[in-house]
Structure 1
Amino acid sequence: MSETTVERTPEAVRGAAPLLEVTGVRKSFRSGRGRLTALDGVDLRLGRGETLGLVGESGCGKSTLARVLLRLERPDAGTVRFDGTDPFALRGKALLAWRRRVQMVFQDPFASLNARMTAADLIGEPWRTHRDVQPTAQARQRRVRELLDLVGLRESDAHRYPNEFSGGQRQRIGIARALALEPDLIVCDEPVSALDLSVQAQVLNLLSDLRQRLGVSYVFISHDLSVVRHVADRVTVMYLGKVIEHGRTEDVFDRPLHPYTAALMSAAPTLDASGAAGEDREIALRGEIPSPFDIPSGCRFRTRCWQATELCAEQAPPAASRPGVDEPHEGLCHFPLDAAVRGLTSGGRR
């Protein structure tokens, strides 16, 4: 991702009231196997004009959390506040107005676009519901041209169909569609994972440029930690439905507190200044991630942790904290790590 350059959020924007606050959100689902715990007391905060990276293995609850943020799933407990308002309390016109402010960029640019619609129709699709945003055909046509230019496409692309575009171009159409209602927040669910590496860099640069120009905020979900490191101001790490570490990107990546975070970071491909692979050894985790139907007692990561003790099985871990770049850096662990953990292997012990 060396081609990608991201300007960090201005301090003045960071100091403003949060755009999004999630507190103690829980969500579970019933099935034939019992109750699946998807989210277990999740807290997070997103500033205006900020990008929050949301990382963790498959099944950790990232997508369920995204659906809650989009008001597609109602939490069993906890609160969601968007610009001070509870979106789950809204009805009618108030809810419709709120939905303009939160949009989505999907993972697969091939599946998320209707093959029978032109680029202009796809970008203007949100206006079918929110008719007052662009009330006339002339206004809609003018805005489509503006959005195409904004995401780096040509005016002549308006009448082309999805099969006539490359994967990166399709994702640009998806981004333009998300911008059509001028949202405050865009939830990006693995938005570059289906793209080639060089195209990923282009799309990431586009998202960064749009953030700087429009002041839009992102919740950026990704398995690719090298991508997250380049795009996110802050990082939230999830494991089995729980936030186990969060803080400024520099703090979480350079000095992880939680063993799981350290293992993720060690497994991510990196390059040093000379272009050679980094010297840190990968931390090999034991076993597979436990079933969300049967979450381990105490620390839920203990079954895979190289430094787990009986205490980890008996008690839920407390929050460990250290000073961060701009805010406290926190992780849930009985034995929080120091920077030397990057050289440990699964056979090591703190």
Structure 2
Amino acid sequence: MSEPTTSGDASGPLLEVTGVTKSFRVPRNASGHTRLTALDGVDLRLGRGETLGVVGESGCGKSTLARVLLLLERPDSGTVRFDGTDPFSLRKKELLAWRRRVQMVFQDPFASLNARMSAADIIGEPWRTHRDVAPTARARETRVRELLDLVGLRAADAHRYPNEFSGGQRQRLGIARALALDPDLIVCDEPVSALDLSVQAQVLNLLSDLQQRLQVSYVFISHDLSVVRHVADRVSVMYLGKVIEHGPTEDVFDRPVHPYTSALMSAAPALDVSGGPPRGDRVLLSGEIPSPLDPPSGCRFRTRCRQAADKCAEQAPPPHTRDGAHEGLCHFPLSAEPPRAGPAVGAASADR
């Protein structure tokens, strides 16, 4: 088995997820249990120095996907390949070396930091496990100053505690901790949702600058479509455990294949100061998200889709590919033409 800390084929993807499923045993009632399928045949591909945005409503499986990528959950089936290696097959020293390459930036910039530790201790905590990165006290002090400077904080901040930082500064501290082991991939789970709007922009610009300087890759999970459009090279849209559309960011946002993606984009707030006509139809979805304990047959979105037909209940939709790199799972894919202006429309509900 090859050493996981060495790079594989530089021309290949950094991360490939193929057919990954993950379910959990949950109580049904007082007398039994059932299975909740959080991921159902998920495919992802991430290039080196690239940002993949993952979007979808709450409960669609985004956080479970993040836990699988971090090896906190083992998939029931499917494969995860990181730089050509299956990380779930690694053991002991090889696994420890691999964990240096994938790090995390959390949603809450305060809860994810130990309030009893100084900034220097927080940044240096990974080195307690990976001692070869900063083997001496002098090396650790030097590296802490470098990382603080890298994320826009001062060397003097090393002795401050989390409660002495603002929200944006705390998130910068969390980013510095994620960079302490020189990772190839950082999983960002809603990294700016808890921050003020102006601070969001600063943190997003910081992540972009770091990517250009360090060639680090991001899996960027977010509910905020405007944020994803700003940072992501490609987007995967999830619904009830499935990736129902993926492709280049501009294609997915401007020419969606799947009706659900169109509804998401329609719901995203936008400021139009051009004085021109509206961007397009306002797509209103009716009904609640189905329970993942009992998803609809066929197409999982059909119970909220305005163009659902009988075949949507009978068959799982096949992939529809547009322009080679843009794919969606739908029996009736949307036109490649940008939507025209029109009145608001409602979604017809369908029987499960």
Q: Structure 1-normalised TM-score?
A: 0.92
- How do 1:313-324 and structure 2 match up within 5 A? 313-323=313-323
Cα offset for 1:72? Answer: 0.3
* Structure 1 moving runs of 4+ over 6 Å: none
Counterpart residue number, 2:227:
227
SS of the residue corresponding to residue 32 of structure 1 reads strand
Question: Following the alignment from structure 1 to structure 2, what is the Cα–Cα distance between the partners of residues 225 and 177?
Answer: 26
- How do 1:177-326 and structure 2 match up within 5 A? 177-272=177-272, 274=274, 278-323=278-323
SS of the residue corresponding to residue 175 of structure 2 reads helix
Quick check: 1:298–1:314 contact (8 Å CA) kept in 2? yes
Cα offset for 1:279? Answer: 3.9
Question: Is residue 27 of structure 1 aligned with residue 18 of structure 2?
Answer: no
Cα offset for 1:192? Answer: 0.1
Amino acid at match of 2:325: P
Counterpart residue number, 2:88:
88
What is the CA deviation profile of residues 38-67 of structure 1, one whole-angstrom value per residue up to 9, with x for unaligned ones? 000000000000000000000000000000
Counterpart residue number, 2:161:
161
Counterpart residue number, 1:332:
329
SS of the residue corresponding to residue 284 of structure 2 reads coil
Cα offset for 1:92? Answer: 0.5
Question: Following the alignment from structure 1 to structure 2, what is the Cα–Cα distance between the partners of residues 147 and 347?
Answer: 50
Question: Following the alignment from structure 1 to structure 2, what is the Cα–Cα distance between the partners of residues 60 and 262?
Answer: 17
- How do 1:101-112 and structure 2 match up within 5 A? 101-112=101-112
Question: Following the alignment from structure 2 to structure 1, what is the Cα–Cα distance between the partners of residues 198 and 275?
Answer: 17
Q: How many pairs align?
A: 332
Cα offset for 1:278? Answer: 5.0
Counterpart residue number, 1:126:
126
**Pair 268,132 (structure 1): closer, same or farther in 2 beyond 3 Å:** same
Identity of aligned residues (%): 81
**Pair 172,75 (structure 1): closer, same or farther in 2 beyond 3 Å:** same
Question: Following the alignment from structure 2 to structure 1, what is the Cα–Cα distance between the partners of residues 275 and 237?
Answer: 28
Unmatched tracts of structure 2, length 5 or more: 1-9, 29-33
What is the CA deviation profile of residues 162-202 of structure 1, one whole-angstrom value per residue up to 9, with x for unaligned ones? 00000000000000000000000000000000000000000
What is the CA deviation profile of residues 48-95 of structure 1, one whole-angstrom value per residue up to 9, with x for unaligned ones? 000000000000000000000000000000000000000000011000
Cα offset for 1:270? Answer: 1.6
Counterpart residue number, 1:18:
13
Counterpart residue number, 1:9:
none
SS of the residue corresponding to residue 109 of structure 2 reads coil
Name which of structure 1's ranges 331-340 and 17-26 shifts more when overlaid on structure 2: 331-340
Unmatched tracts of structure 1, length 5 or more: 1-14
Name which of structure 1's ranges 122-131 and 332-341 shifts more when overlaid on structure 2: 332-341
Counterpart residue number, 2:71:
71
**Pair 275,80 (structure 1): closer, same or farther in 2 beyond 3 Å:** farther
Quick check: 2:304–2:347 contact (8 Å CA) kept in 1? no
Amino acid at match of 1:254: D
**Pair 92,277 (structure 1): closer, same or farther in 2 beyond 3 Å:** farther
What is the CA deviation profile of residues 84-116 of structure 1, one whole-angstrom value per residue up to 9, with x for unaligned ones? 000000011000000000000000001000001
Amino acid at match of 1:301: F
